[in-house]
Structure 1
Amino acid sequence: MLYCKGTYVCRECIGLGYQSQLEQPVDRLFTRLNAIRARLQWSRGIANKQGGKPLGMHWTSYNRLVSEYDQLIQKLLGKYRND
């Protein structure tokens, strides 16, 4: 895809980054947490309560996602306690 900056150039030529490249580490945590919540069909946002296992999801997948979710929450809380 070409972008116009006086002339038509590619995104690399004008130094245009992708949104994921501009995210701060804490933003990446929130992005991953929301992705896990979406897979588990829970409401978006960490302030909302956790739901149950979605129908059709294997227990191993559910347990793995919940474990990763809990680890990320602890990491996030640790970041805010240390700041």
Structure 2
Amino acid sequence: MSILVEIIQGLGAIALGLTDVYIWVVIITALLSFVNPDPFNPIVQFLYRITNPAYAFVRKFIRTNFNGLDLAPLIIVVGLQIVTVLLRAILHAL
């Protein structure tokens, strides 16, 4: 039984790492939107391709544009932080 718990904790640690990386990707993309980078840059295209589905999902349910300021990245980061806290609590309880 302890091997199964260790496998679940390992997979949970990978999921936590991926959510942390995605939080940073969302933050970097939000900061890039302020400086208006070259849209043909492959790194910028990759970041937009990674974050636009999450932005579209949030915008489908919540109005995020307030006075020209898009709050979708903030909503995504807060949501991912909540998921991280819950996942850490579940993994700690095992």
Query: TM-score, normalised to structure 2's length?
Result: 0.38
Higher relative CO (CA 8 A, sep ≥ 6), structure 1 or 2?
Answer: 2
Query: TM-score, normalised to structure 1's length?
Result: 0.42
- Structure holding more helix per residue: 2
**Higher gyration radius (CA):** 1
